[in-house]
Chains A and B, each alone.
Chain A
Amino acid sequence: MFWFSKRNQQSSIAVRRIDQVVRLESYGPLQVQVMVDCLGAVCPRPQLLTMRALDHMNDGEVLELLVDNPASAEAIPAMAMGLGSTHLVTMRNEGSWRIYLRKGFGDDGH
């Protein structure tokens, strides 16, 4: 089946390195290394993708997760500690959330 081919899958990569500074209103600039795009996905996908991405990151790196599933938006900050990370901030938009996690338990750097 064509949509299971490797080539087709590459075009819909959900996790990628971005290494860019995002400016967050009333929080300040934040250097983000990895972006996880889970728009349209329901749990467990956001949880498992976040877990997997954090596994491949270094301590101190920041992950940006984009979700529109309310249950995930609430669950991920609550399980940040269990995933070996610190929840920095959640930016709330109409119908979607951007959640920032820093790998490791250091100071939240802010």
Chain B
Amino acid sequence: MANDVKTATIDAAGLRNGVWYSHKGNVYALGIVLLVALGSVWALAQDLRWIYLLVYVWFGLGYGIFLQYGRFCMASAVRDLFAVGVPRMAVGMLIAVMLFSLTAALVKVLGVSTFHPHPLGWHIIIGGAIFGFGIVFTGGCATGSLYKSGEGNLGSMLVVLSISFSQAIYVTLGGWLNKLVPASWTQSAVAKDMPAELTVGNGWFDQFTAGYIWDLTGGQLSDQLGFEGLFTGAFFGNALLGAIVPSLLLMIYLYQTAYRKGYQRRFKIETPRLGDHLRGIWSMVTASRTTAIAGLCLGLLAGAHMWATGELREHYGIFNFGEMLVDMGHTAGLSIQDTVFDPGYWYITTQEAQWGAWALDKAGVQMTDNIFFGLENGIPNPLINAPGWMSIGIILGAALLALVRHEFRWKVPSLETAMFAIIGGALMGLGARIALGCNIGAFFATVTNGDLSGWIFLAGMAAGAWVGVKGFNWWMEWRAGDDELAI
């Protein structure tokens, strides 16, 4: 088959030759593993309770490895679909959703699910659209930028920085933005009688959170449909109806719109029957084999992560890592309720916001007079920020596999790419804050737990990405100018 990538690839530099340690990448990769292992042992020697934080690190490492393996990027899933009509990554993503929904259901049955449903409202679709628009310009979603940073991509590191600081700034902004907030939000927010130090009446995000978000409700499908049984609720309600059936429908839609024509032309099928369509769908699934394998492993890993954190919380009798930090004597950077951000599952954007806020706080900016940091998430030192370590784990895991696969390289962005990274990252940060998460927290982790708000986020993200692709193409045409070919 002429299009088979594996057979048509020639190893030009003799990458596969020599003993394993003659390849520097392998040595560096081993170094990463040893570093994380030694760091873990050192932390445990200080206090065994750091195991709670280390769970985040090691699962992060695992996520990073499989993300790099599958080139798993939700940004390219929606973008390739609109830009060139290739459903490969989108199919891989849907497979991951189906598998994670099963592991998530199992974790719920075991009674250690850490999932909280998202409130349902217009903010999801608006935030998703802004986020989707941003990812086209940055060339990766929040997770994608992390694993690409691990591949040595300096542009992606700029995206991570931009997301971190932009989010931290958005949630604290007040001033003239207060005037844009609907009066009903302000009233409702002030009526909630929050502690005075949060100055809830000042800051658009506070009023958005307390005056709008908190008045909304959301839930898991199992509860909404009134499934009483734990097993039927988790597996039938949440996994099957909430995640698997919608994923299958979307896959049929993708086959119909993006794959069927090419498949039938290639195999000269004139009058397709049901069997041909099924074989076609199967061929579409196997065409995204590595992504599907990565999706399978990520689904299992994400479920295992929820289980591990849930068990640890039960073991130590805590609801939030903040309680443990207080016990250990680390009280700086906690919220006024002594909590920190601790989702207990795969999450990306909030911990990045905390990094940005921590740095700004050190620079003397008042960062805790708001609900997001002051009441809920805190701004812990990055050294003891558990989900933050998951993000670092993702970078290290991706670096590890990229080094082994001869794919690591320091990639310096052009000025244009760097500008896009910063502006796009700021848009992604805004979208993620409005939608209360990125494509992981607001989509992947929600739909797989039977929370339908994730599918709304996906719709918003797809719409935003569609506009983004149009904009990107327009920009390239403008840059090319009169010259037909030069870009």
Contact = CB atoms under 8 A, between A and B. Distances in A.
B186 to A, nearest CB: 38
B124 interface: no
Nearest to B137: A44
A86 B5 CA distance: 11
5 closest pairs, A vs B, by CB? A95-B409, A42-B139, A71-B71, A91-B12, A90-B9
A43 interface: yes
B402 A12 contact: no
B215 interface: no
Contact of A88 (B8, B15, B472, B487): B8
Contacts of A32: none
B433 interface: no
Contacts of A49: 476, 487
Given A3-B415, A71-B71, A90-B9, A79 B151 contact: no
Interface string B282-299: 000001001000000000
Interface of B: 2-3, 5, 8-13, 15, 68, 71, 73, 75-76, 79-80, 83-86, 88-89, 136, 138-140, 148, 151-153, 155-156, 262, 266, 287, 290, 402, 405-409, 411-417, 419, 469, 472-473, 476, 479-481, 484-487
Given A44-B139, A94-B406, A69 B3 contact: no
A74 B5 contact: yes
A78 B88 contact: yes
A16 B479 CA distance: 14
Contacts of B12: 24-25, 91-93, 98
Contact of B9 (A44, A86, A92): A92
B412 A40 contact: yes
Nearest to B3: A87
Most chain A C-beta atoms within 10 Å of own C-beta, residue among B73, B136, B140, B485: B485
Contacts of A53: 485, 487
Contacts of B415: 3, 12
8 contacts: A16-B486, A40-B417, A79-B84, A89-B9, A94-B15, A94-B409, A95-B406, A95-B408
A110 to B, nearest CB: 10
Nearest to A24: B10
A44 to B, nearest CB: 5
Contacts of A98: 12
Given A16-B486, A44-B136, A87-B3, A79 B80 contact: yes
Given A69-B411, A92-B15, A78 B139 contact: no
B411 A3 contact: no
A84 to B, nearest CB: 11
Contacts of A92: 9-13, 15, 406
B486 A13 contact: yes
Interface string A50-80: 0111001000000000001111001101111
Contacts of A41: 139, 413-414, 417
A43 B411 CA distance: 13
Nearest to A8: B415
A52 B79 CA distance: 16
A43 B76 contact: yes
B5 A44 contact: no
Contacts, number: 163
Given A42-B156, A71-B73, A78-B88, A90 B83 contact: no
Interface residues of A, number: 55
Contacts of A10: 486
Nearest to A14: B487
B8 A42 contact: no
A70 B88 contact: no
Contacts of A42: 138-140, 148, 153, 155-156, 417
A29 B76 CA distance: 34
Contact of A15 (B13, B413, B469, B486): B486
Interface string A1-17: 00100100110111111
A95 B407 contact: yes
B3 A78 contact: yes
A37 to B, nearest CB: 10
Given A69-B411, A83-B84, A52 B487 contact: yes
Given A25-B12, A88-B8, A74 B71 contact: yes
A36 to B, nearest CB: 8
A15 to B, nearest CB: 5
Nearest to B82: A44
Given A12-B415, A90-B5, A91-B10, 10 more contacts: A3-B419, A24-B10, A40-B417, A42-B156, A45-B417, A56-B485, A69-B411, A78-B88, A94-B13, A96-B409
B147 to A, nearest CB: 9
A76 B18 CA distance: 29
A77 B484 CA distance: 24
B81 to A, nearest CB: 11
A56 B83 CA distance: 17
Given A9-B479, A94-B13, A51 B83 contact: yes
A77 B5 contact: yes
Most chain A C-beta atoms within 10 Å of own C-beta, residue among B8, B68, B75, B479: B8
